[in-house]
Amino acid sequence: MINVSKLKEGIVIDHILAGHGYKIFQQLGLDLLDGVVVLMRNVDSTKMGKKDLIKIETDLNLDLDVLGLIDPNVTINYVKNGERVNKVSLTPPQTVTGILTCKNPRCITNQEHIHDVKFYLVDAATNQYACEYCDARTRL
């Protein structure tokens, strides 16, 4: 069984939709961390059937925008001295800059290699974002 209290210090990202764990792992750059990081996939969950879970045994400034983009339904538990000190729920960010890229090949951002493109949330249910230049819809 997974026991959050076993983690002495760090962060547990819980209730990740099964299959999204690796995406989050990559997007947060967890492979670059020096500390212990555990990615668990297809863990049994009473709530979700199967879920992914990430344990990070180090102090880390999580990019909550990135997390909210990939999977706003995750819960983040901050653990200190073996106790859960803080639990954070996410909402998808209203706007994101520099994380998404436009999928429209004719969009000026792809023609001119524009970075830091701003995207606006258009559908929170499906996590769809619209490009500020051409309005094309995308999701991470």
Binding site residues, Zn ion, CB under 5 A: 102, 104, 107, 131, 133-134, 136
Per-residue buried b or exposed e for 47-66, using 16+ beta carbons within 10 Å of the residue's own CB? eeeebbbbbbbeebebeebb
**Could you tell me the smallest distance in angstroms from the CB atom of residue 110 to Zn ion?**
7
**Could you tell me the smallest distance in angstroms from the CB atom of residue 105 to Zn ion?**
10
Cβ-based nearer residue to Zn ion, 30 or 131: 131
Cβ-based nearer residue to Zn ion, 39 or 108: 108
A 10 A CB-CB count for 74 gives 23
**Could you tell me the smallest distance in angstroms from the CB atom of residue 130 to Zn ion?**
8
Q: Which two tokens stand for residue 52?
A: 């992914």
Cβ-based nearer residue to Zn ion, 74 or 127: 127
Cβ-based nearer residue to Zn ion, 109 or 127: 109
Strands 95-97 and 118-123: antiparallel
**Could you tell me the smallest distance in angstroms from the CB atom of residue 81 to Zn ion?**
47
Torsion, Cα of 87, 76, 118, 22 (10° steps)? 180
108: part of which helix (H) or strand (E)?
helix 108-111
